[in-house]
Structure 1
Amino acid sequence: MARNVEFDEESAIRTAMEVFWEKGYKGASLRDLTDAMKINPSSLYNTIGDKHALFLRCVQRYTDDRKEYIAKHASSSRSPLKTIKIFIDDAVSNITTNPHSCMAIKAAFEVATDDIRVQAILKDDSDAMYRFLCLLLTSAMEKGEISADEDPEVLTDYLLSSYIGWHESFILNRDPIKIQRMARFLFKQLSR
């Protein structure tokens, strides 16, 4: 009787996440995934399921990591504006140094339009990011760090749409200076 190969599932998910992140859902073959995870296909099927089930787990892991980032930064500073600046700076750094862009954005365009399960994971992630930023902007207004004349929900939408646009700009232009300049301009607009 064939014996199932035991493996560290969390480590395997993270490894598969990197493959999906680099190649996309459609570009990653089952062999690419199992080779990277150092398991055989039967071990994958017996523990996680098929390629789609693995992809769902990877997208969930990616978005869980982002939620951990939010939780860490939500209470890390007494200045909401400073936390927003850290978020923007981290985004710029991630965009300009990560060769694969944002896995959530890639999955949204490649898979989520036709896959309600991926869409639900990404919607939950987007809602968490929205709440985090809107709360920071509202707090910054209450503390007088930014003008209270603006609508925090509109500012949150503006910040998130800028963030997504920076990803596209960097993919097309590979110009980190351009992203840094846009980020400085955005922060200047928020903090005036």
Structure 2
Amino acid sequence: MQVVIGRIGRAHGIRGELNVDIRTDEPERRFAPGSSVVCGTRTLTVASARHHGGRLVVAFKEVPDRTAAEKLHGTVLEAVVDPDDTPDDPDEFYDHQLVGLEVRSDTDAAVVGTVTGLVHLPYQDTLTVEVDGREVFIPFVTELVPVVDVAGGFVTVKDVEGLLDPTRAENAASDLVGD
């Protein structure tokens, strides 16, 4: 099983180093020297990793110079993990642990949908949820998703006007404007 751990940004310097936008809560583990990452159809070995100017700068053994580094710009980096493996922090989850969980309302615990995926955005992750045959996006933040119970098979979502039903949001906005 593979999990997204980063996206390659611009080349850094002339020796093949790359800026990496981190998409993991375990960068020290995933980008430790000697560890392997999947980059498209290739497997790369981390030679070194360091923080510079608020970014992670990584050198891979298979990327000898700036020209080779520039060809990787924008590529997603993934790590191979055992399906039974879990992150070290109990408040962190791998995508595959969340997909398939029931989505329950925090007001009455009624099942309102199913998690179908995650979108990894620069500032926060977003749950993709199927609700009555529609795809709904829910920011994966504690304020909106206060409970994640992988063992129990569900997440709880705040019952915020329009969050799970976009037509309710449109109607609420119309009511405010006096439509």
Q: TM-score, structure 2 length as denominator?
A: 0.25
- Whichever structure has more helix as a proportion of its residues is 1
- Whichever structure has more strand as a proportion of its residues is 2
Q: TM-score, structure 1 length as denominator?
A: 0.24
